[in-house]
C-alpha cells in the first residue's frame, strides 16, 4: 500500500496507466495462448485441400490475427493516433532527409548586397564674395578692405599708401584696380572650367566671362578668342568649355576628387529639383545618389548609395530562402531541418538511457523485493525530490562559464537528462513486475528452473514492454520539450548547432517577436506538432495495448 | 493513522537529508574554480566586498574549507537552525528576498490553479460521459495540445497577439509605468491586469493533465458495477453521473490535487521569466544563472521540501478521503 501511495505524483500514473496492470497482463497472456492455438490450427488447415467446406459455425472461418497484429489493427483504427503517426513520419523525413536534400548547409552564412547611404558631398549656394587676385597688391588685407568698402558702397579705399579703385559691374561683381591696372576681382558667381583650354584661375578669362555674364551679353573675348555665353554656359566654337554658377560642391572626404562631369550633372539634377540622381563614373560603375536640402544650413547634402556586402540578416521568406534567414544570415528552413534532427536525436538517446537504467533497476527491485527493493525505491524517491529544472539551469550556467564546446555540451545534456529521468521508468517497471511475478507463468518458470536473470529479462520484462513503449513515446515528447526549454533559455544546445528551442530563442528580442514571425513561428509549430504527435501516438498505443478501455 | 504519519514524516526527513546532501555535494563539486570565479567577479563590482571576504563568508556558511561530509553536517545544522545565509546577487539575506517574491508566485499559482480546476474537471467529466464521441475527441485533443505546448512558445504567441497586435497588455513586468500614482485599489487592478497573460499561460499549459486524469478515472468509475446498478434502478442519467459516478471520481482527484498544492509555492520559472514577473521562479532563475550559490541552494532544498510535503499530503488525503483504504 505504502509504495503504491508513493506513486501518486508519478506522471504516468496521472494518465492512469499502472492501475490495471494485472488485467492487462492477463489479457496479454490469454492473447498469447490463443495465438499459439491459432498457429497450430493454421498448420492443420494447410493440409486441408478445400477451405470452402467449413461449416457455418466453424471458427476456422474466422481470420486469425497474432496479438501484435491485433494491437496494430486497433492502433490503426484510431484516427487521432494515425494522424499523429503521419505527423511523426513527416517530421522524421523532414529532419533526416531534409538535411540531405537541401542545397544549403547547417552553418552556411548568406550575404547580400546592401545599399548604404553615406554622406558623399555637399552643395552650397555661394552667398559670399570670393576674391581673385592678379597682382600681389591685392592680397589678404587688401581683399578684406575691399569687402568693407564694397559693403559701405565706397568707390575707393586706400591701404598701405595705395589707393584702390572699385568698379561696380553688378551687385555681385566688383573689379578692383590700382592706377588703372585691374588687380583683383570680388565675385559671387563662380566660373568652373570644363576643358583644359580654359582655366578657372585665368584672371583675364574669368574677368571677361563674369563681366559678360553680369551685363547679360551673349559673347565675350578673352585671350584672343571669342566665347559665346548663354545661361551661364560658356562655349568655344560650339563646345562647352566652362560654366558659371553659384553652386559650390564640396567633397565629404579629403581624398575624393569630384570630377567636373559629376559636378555638372549634379548641378543639373539640383536645378531640376530631382531627389535621386544616377551617375556613371568613368570606369562604368553606376552609383545612386540621394539629394536632400537642408534649409537651416542652406546646403544640399548628397549621399552616395554604396553597395556593400552584408550578412543577409532576417531576410523575409522568398524564392531562395523559403522561410527567410535568421539573425546570423543562415537559411531558416535548413536550420529547422537540422534543428529537428538534433531535437529528435536528443529525445531518443535520452529516453533510451533512462529506459535502460529504469528497466534494470525497476526489474531488480520488483523481482527481488525485500531490502533491495526498499533501497532502490528510496534512491528513486531521492531522485524524485531533486529539483531537475534548477539543477539543469545551474549546470547550464556552469558550462557557459567554462565555454564548453557545443558538441560536448550536447553530449552532457543527453547524459544529464537521461540520468535524471530514470526513476519514473523504474517505478513503472517495478509496479508492473510486482503484479506479474505473482502469476502462474512465473511460477512455471521457477518450476522450470530457469536462471533468474533469464526469468527477469526474458519473461517479466517482455510483459512490461507494452507499458514501457507507451511511457517512452510520451517521454519522448516531454524530453523534447525539456530540451527545447533549456535551449530556449540559452542553456541547452548552443550555436552553431540548431535546435528548435534555440531557434525560438530569438523571440527574446522584442523586435523579432513583433516583426519577424517567420523566424520563430515555424520552429514553434514544428515543436508543438512533434510533441503532440508523440502524445497522440502514445495515447493510441495505450488504447491499442489495453483493449479493455475501448468498449 | 498517527503512527503512519509519524513514520512517513520520519522517512521524508531521511530523504530530505539525502537530497540536501546531493545538492550540497553538487554545489561543492561545481569545479571550485567556478565558485572562485563567481566570487572574483562579484568582488570586481564597485563597492563590493573583497574576494577574500566573499570566500570567507561562503566558507563560514558552507564549510567550504572542510571535507564534503563534515562540511555537509555543519551546513545542514545551520540550515535547520534557519540560517540560510546572504544572497550574493541581491545582497540581502536569502530569506528576506524569498519573502519579497514568494507571494506574487503564490497568488499567480493559486489563481491559475482555481481556473485549472473549474476548466479541467467539468471537461474531463463531459469527455468521459460522451466517450468516443466527437466532443470527447475535441476535448482530448485540446487537452493534449495544452500538454504539448512548450510554455515559451505559447507565451510568445500570447504576447504577439495580445500585447503587440492588440495592445491590451504590457509585454513585461508586473506593474505598469503609472503604478506609483495609483491608489490602493488601482494598484491591485494594475497588477491583476499584468497577471492575465501569465495566468492564461499557466492554465493552458497545465489543465490538460488534470483533465485527462479526471477522464480516465471517470471512465473507470462509469464501468463499475454500482453504476450499472444505479442505471438498472432507473435513475436518470444526470443523477447517475453527478451523484454516483462523479463523487467516486473525486476520490483520486482530491488526492492528487491536494498532493500537488505545496507546488503553488514553487513558482513558475519559465512563465515568470518570460513575462518578467518578479516571483520566486524568475528571481531564482536569475540567481542560478548569476552564480548566486546561497540563493540557489536554498531554493533547491525548498523545492525538495515541497515535493516531499506534497507526497505526504497525497498519501494522507488518500486515506482520509477513501475510507476503504486502511493504512498500516
CB-closest option in B16, B34, B148 to A398: B34
CA distances (Å), origin A393, targets B263, B283, B289: 19, 13, 7
Query: Residue A301 in 3-state DSSP?
Result: strand
Residue of B nearest to A14 (CA): B213
Q: How far is Cα A185 from Cα B8, in angstroms, rounded to an integer?
A: 109
Q: How many CA atoms lie within 13 A of B66 on its CB side?
A: 13
Q: For position B326, what pLDDT does the model report?
A: 60
Residue A349 has pLDDT above 90, yes or no: yes
Q: For position A17, what pLDDT does the model report?
A: 39
Dump the DSSP string for A481-524.
HHHHHHHHTTSSS-TTS--HHHHHGGGGSHHHHHH-HHHHHHHH
Contact check, Cβ <8 Å, A390/B288: yes
CB-closest option in B148, B310, B327 to A535: B148
CB-closest option in A385, A387, A528 to B150: A528
Q: Spell out which residues of chain B touch residue A501, defining contact as CB-CB under 8 Å.
A: 150
Residue of B nearest to A517 (CA): B160
Q: For position A476, what pLDDT does the model report?
A: 92
CA distances (Å), origin A194, targets A235, A252, B201: 10, 22, 73
Contact check, Cβ <8 Å, A488/B15: no
User: Which of B156, B272, B315 best tests the A interface by mutation, with the highest count of A CBs <10 A?
Assistant: B156
CB A185 within 8 A of CB A197: no
Q: For position A269, what pLDDT does the model report?
A: 79
Residue B285 has pLDDT above 50, yes or no: yes
Tens of pLDDT, residue by residue over B292-301, are 778 888 888 8
Q: Spell out which residues of chain B touch residue A378, defining contact as CB-CB under 8 Å.
A: 14-15
User: Which of A1, A387, A511 best tests the B interface by mutation, with the highest count of B CBs <10 A?
Assistant: A387
Nearest to B295 by CA among B144, B87, B154, B108: B87
Q: For position A346, what pLDDT does the model report?
A: 92
CA distances (Å), origin B48, targets A39, A172, B162, B247, B288: 81, 71, 42, 60, 20
Lowest mean pLDDT among A111-120, A194-203, A436-445, B165-174: A194-203
- pTM listed for this prediction: 0.73
Q: For position A252, what pLDDT does the model report?
A: 78
Q: How far is Cα A18 from Cα A16, in angstroms, rounded to an integer?
A: 6
Cβ neighbours, 10 Å, residue A284: 6
CB A16 within 8 A of CB B217: yes
Q: Spell out which residues of chain B touch residue A9, defining contact as CB-CB under 8 Å.
A: 256, 259-260, 307, 310-311, 314
Average pLDDT, chain A: 79
Task: Delimit the domains of chain A by residue range.
Answer: 3-47, 74-110+322-550, 122-310
Tens of pLDDT, residue by residue over A284-300, are 777 778 777 777 777 78
Contact check, Cβ <8 Å, B209/A14: yes
Residue B49 has pLDDT above 80, yes or no: no
Distance, in angstroms, between A517 CA and closest chain B CA? 9
* DSSP single-letter state for residue A255: T
Q: How confident is the model at residue A187 (pLDDT cuts 50, 70, 90)?
A: confident
Q: For position B137, what pLDDT does the model report?
A: 87
Using DSSP bridges, classify how beta strands A225-230 and A233-236 pair: parallel, antiparallel or unpaired. antiparallel
Q: Spell out which residues of chain B touch residue A393, defining contact as CB-CB under 8 Å.
A: 269, 285, 288-289
Distance, in angstroms, between A449 CA and closest chain B CA? 36
Q: Which helix (H) or strand (E) holds A241?
A: strand A239-245
Residue B207 has pLDDT above 80, yes or no: yes
Q: Spell out which residues of chain A touch residue B206, defining contact as CB-CB under 8 Å.
A: none
Q: Which helix (H) or strand (E) holds A240?
A: strand A239-245
User: Which of B152, B259, B299 best tests the A interface by mutation, with the highest count of A CBs <10 A?
Assistant: B152
Using DSSP bridges, classify how beta strands A181-187 and A190-193 pair: parallel, antiparallel or unpaired. unpaired
Question: What cell was used for B152?
Answer: 515559451
Provide the Cα torsion B12, B17, B20, B25; round to 10°. -150
CATH number 1.10.3720.10 given to A74-110+322-550: yes
Contact check, Cβ <8 Å, A8/B314: yes
Q: How confident is the model at residue A529 (pLDDT cuts 50, 70, 90)?
A: very high
Q: How far is Cα B214 from Cα B252, in angstroms, rounded to an integer?
A: 9
Distance, in angstroms, between B123 CA and closest chain A CA? 15
CB-closest option in A385, A387, A489 to B15: A385
Tens of pLDDT, residue by residue over A105-161, are 878 888 877 777 777 888 887 777 888 877 777 777 778 877 888 877 777 787 777
Distance, in angstroms, between B267 CA and closest chain A CA? 12
How are the residues of chain A apportioned to helix, strand and coil, as percentages rounded to the nearest 5?
55, 20, 25
Residue A527 has pLDDT above 60, yes or no: yes
Tell me the percentage of chain A whose pLDDT exceeds 70. 88
End-to-end CA gap in chain A: 30
Dump the DSSP string for A93-161.
IIIIIHHHHSSS-TT-B-EEEEEEEEEEEEEEE--S-EEEESSTTSSTHHHHHHHHHHHTT-SEEEETT
Q: How confident is the model at residue A3 (pLDDT cuts 50, 70, 90)?
A: very low
Residue A32 has pLDDT above 60, yes or no: no
Tens of pLDDT, residue by residue over A350-403, are 999 999 999 999 988 888 888 999 899 988 988 888 888 888 888 888 888 778
CB-closest option in B37, B131, B318 to A401: B37
Q: For position A44, what pLDDT does the model report?
A: 55
Residue of A nearest to B305 (CA): A385
Contact check, Cβ <8 Å, B291/A501: no
Residue A42 has pLDDT above 60, yes or no: no
Tens of pLDDT, residue by residue over B24-43, are 888 777 766 667 777 777 77
Residue of B nearest to A535 (CA): B144
Provide the Cα torsion A316, A321, A324, A330; round to 10°. -130
Q: Spell out which residues of chain B touch residue A520, defining contact as CB-CB under 8 Å.
A: 153, 156
Q: How confident is the model at residue A23 (pLDDT cuts 50, 70, 90)?
A: very low
Q: What is the ipTM of this complex?
A: 0.86
Residues in chain B, overall count: 328
**Between A and B, how many CB-CB pairs are < 8 A?**
160
Residue B86: left if φ>0, alpha if ψ -120 to 50, beta else—which one?
beta
Q: For position A21, what pLDDT does the model report?
A: 42
Distance, in angstroms, between B30 CA and closest chain A CA? 8
Contact check, Cβ <8 Å, B148/A514: no
Contact check, Cβ <8 Å, A390/B209: no
Amino acid at each position: 500500500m505504502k509504495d503504491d501511495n508513493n506513486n501518486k505524483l508519478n506522471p504516468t500514473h496521472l494518465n492512469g496507466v499502472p492501475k490495471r496492470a494485472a488485467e492487462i497482463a492477463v489479457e496479454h497472456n490469454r492473447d498469447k495462448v490463443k495465438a499459439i492455438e491459432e498457429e497450430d490450427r493454421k498448420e492443420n488447415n494447410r493440409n486441408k485441400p478445400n477451405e470452402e467446406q467449413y461449416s457455418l459455425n466453424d471458427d476456422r472461418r474466422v481470420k486469425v490475427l497474432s496479438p501484435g497484429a491485433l494491437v496494430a489493427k486497433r492502433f490503426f483504427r484510431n484516427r487521432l493516433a494515425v494522424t499523429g503517426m503521419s505527423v511523426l513520419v513527416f517530421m522524421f523525413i523532414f529532419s533526416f532527409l531534409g538535411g540531405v536534400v537541401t542545397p544549403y548547409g547547417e552553418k552556411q552564412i548568406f550575404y547580400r548586397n546592401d545599399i548604404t547611404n553615406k554622406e558623399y558631398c555637399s552643395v552650397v549656394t555661394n552667398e559670399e564674395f570670393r576674391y581673385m587676385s592678379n597682382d600681389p597688391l591685392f592680397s589678404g588685407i587688401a581683399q578684406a578692405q575691399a569687402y568693407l568698402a564694397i559693403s559701405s558702397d565706397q568707390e575707393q579705399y586706400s591701404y598701405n599708401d595705395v589707393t584702390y579703385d572699385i568698379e561696380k559691374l553688378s551687385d555681385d561683381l566688383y573689379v578692383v584696380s590700382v592706377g588703372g591696372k585691374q588687380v583683383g576681382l570680388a565675385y559671387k558667381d563662380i566660373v568652373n572650367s570644363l576643358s583644359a583650354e580654359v582655366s578657372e584661375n585665368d584672371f583675364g578669362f574669368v574677368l571677361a566671362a563674369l563681366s559678360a555674364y553680369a551685363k547679360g551679353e551673349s559673347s565675350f573675348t578673352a585671350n584672343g578668342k571669342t566665347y559665346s555665353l548663354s545661361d551661364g554656359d560658356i562655349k568655344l566654337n560650339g563646345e562647352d568649355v566652362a560654366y558659371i554658377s553659384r553652386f559650390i560642391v564640396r567633397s565629404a572626404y579629403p581624398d575624393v576628387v569630384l570630377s567636373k562631369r559629376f559636378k555638372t550633372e549634379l548641378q543639373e539634377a539640383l536645378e531640376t529639383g530631382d531627389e535621386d540622381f544616377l551617375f556613371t563614373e568613368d570606369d562604368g560603375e553606376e552609383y545612386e545618389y540621394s539629394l536632400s536640402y537642408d534649409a537651416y544650413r542652406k546646403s544640399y547634402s548628397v549621399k552616395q548609395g554604396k553597395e556593400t556586402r552584408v550578412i543577409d540578416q532576417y531576410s523575409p521568406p522568398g524564392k531562395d530562402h523559403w522561410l527567410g534567414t535568421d539573425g546570423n544570415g543562415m537559411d531558416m528552413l535548413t536550420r529547422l531541418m537540422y534543428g529537428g534532427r538534433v531535437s529528435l536525436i536528443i529525445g531518443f538517446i535520452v529516453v533510451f538511457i533512462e529506459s535502460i537504467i529504469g528497466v534494470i533497476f525497476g526489474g531488480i527491485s520488483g523481482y527481488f523485493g525485500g531490502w533491495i527493493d526498499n533501497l532502490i525505491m528510496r534512491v528513486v524517491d531521492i531522485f524524485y525530490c531533486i529539483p531537475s529544472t534548477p539543477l539543469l539551469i545551474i549546470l547550464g550556467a556552469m558550462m557557459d562559464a567554462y565555454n564548453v564546446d557545443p558538441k560536448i555540451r550536447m553530449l552532457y545534456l543527453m547524459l544529464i537528462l537521461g540520468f535524471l529521468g530514470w526513476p519514473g521508468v523504474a517505478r513503472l517497471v517495478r509496479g508492473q513486475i510486482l503484479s506479474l511475478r505473482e502469476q502462474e507463468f512465473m511460477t512455471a518458470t521457477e518450476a522450470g528452473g530457469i536462471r533468474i536473470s533469464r526469468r527477469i529479462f526474458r519473461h517479466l520484462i517482455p510483459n512490461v514492454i507494452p507499458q514501457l513503449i507507451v511511457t517512452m513515446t510520451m517521454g519522448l515528447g516531454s524530453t523534447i520539450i525539456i530540451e527545447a526549454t533549456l535551449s530556449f533559455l540559452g542553456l541547452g544546445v548552443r550555436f552553431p548547432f540548431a535546435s528548435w528551442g534555440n531557434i525560438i530563442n530569438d523571440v527574446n528580442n522584442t523586435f523579432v517577436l513583433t516583426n519577424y514571425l517567420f523566424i520563430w513561428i515555424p520552429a514553434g509549430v514544428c515543436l508543438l506538432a512533434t510533441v503532440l504527435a508523440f502524445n497522440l501516438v502514445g495515447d493510441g498505443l495505450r488504447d491499442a495495448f489495453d483493449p479493455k478501455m475501448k468498449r | 493513522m498517527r503512527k503512519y504519519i509519524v513514520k512517513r514524516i520520519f522517512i521524508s526527513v531521511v530523504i530530505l537529508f539525502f537530497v540536501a546532501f546531493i545538492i550540497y555535494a553538487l554545489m561543492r563539486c561545481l569545479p571550485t574554480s567556478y565558485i572562485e570565479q563567481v566570487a572574483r567577479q562579484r568582488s570586481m563590482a564597485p563597492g563590493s566586498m573583497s574576494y577574500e571576504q566573499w570566500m570567507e563568508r561562503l566558507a563560514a556558511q558552507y564549510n567550504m574549507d572542510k571535507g564534503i561530509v563534515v562540511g555537509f553536517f555543519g551546513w545542514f545544522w545551520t540550515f535547520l537552525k534557519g540560517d540560510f545565509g546572504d544572497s550574493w546577487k541581491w545582497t540581502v539575506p536569502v530569506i528576506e528576498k524569498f519573502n519579497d517574491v514568494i507571494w506574487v508566485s503564490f497568488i499567480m499559482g493559486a489563481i491559475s490553479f482555481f481556473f485549472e480546476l473549474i476548466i479541467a474537471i467539468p471537461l474531463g467529466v463531459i469527455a468521459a460521459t460522451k466517450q468516443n464521441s466527437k466532443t470527447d475527441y475535441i476535448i482530448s485533443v485540446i487537452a493534449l495540445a495544452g500538454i504539448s505546448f512548450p510554455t515559451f512558445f505559447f507565451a510568445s504567441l500570447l504576447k504577439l497577439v495580445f500585447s503587440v497586435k492588440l495592445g491590451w497588455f504590457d509585454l513585461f513586468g508586473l506593474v505598469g509605468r503609472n503604478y506609483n500614482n495609483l491608489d490602493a485599489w488601482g494598484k491591485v487592478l494594475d497588477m491583476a491586469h499584468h497577471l492575465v497573460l501569465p495566468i492564461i499561460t499557466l492554465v493552458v499549459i497545465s489543465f490538460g493533465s488534470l483533465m485527462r486524469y479526471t477522464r480516465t478515472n471517470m471512465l473507470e468509475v462509469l464501468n463499475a458495477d454500482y453504476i450499472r446498478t444505479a442505471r438498472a434502478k432507473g435513475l436518470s442519467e444526470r443523477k447517475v453521473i453527478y451523484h454516483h459516478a462523479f463523487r467516486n471520481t473525486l476520490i483520486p482527484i482530491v488526492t492528487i490535487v491536494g498532493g500537488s498544492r505545496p507546488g503553488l509555492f514553487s513558482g513558475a520559472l519559465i512563465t515568470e521569466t518570460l513575462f518578467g514577473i518578479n516571483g520566486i521562479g524568475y528571481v531564482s532563475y536569475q540567481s542560478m544563472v548569476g552564480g548566486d550559490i546561497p540563493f540557489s541552494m536554498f531554493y533547491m532544498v525548498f523545492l525538495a521540501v515541497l515535493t516531499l510535503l506534497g507526497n505526504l499530503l497525497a498519501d494522507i488525503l488518500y486515506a482520509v478521503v477513501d475510507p476503504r483504504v486502511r493504512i498500516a
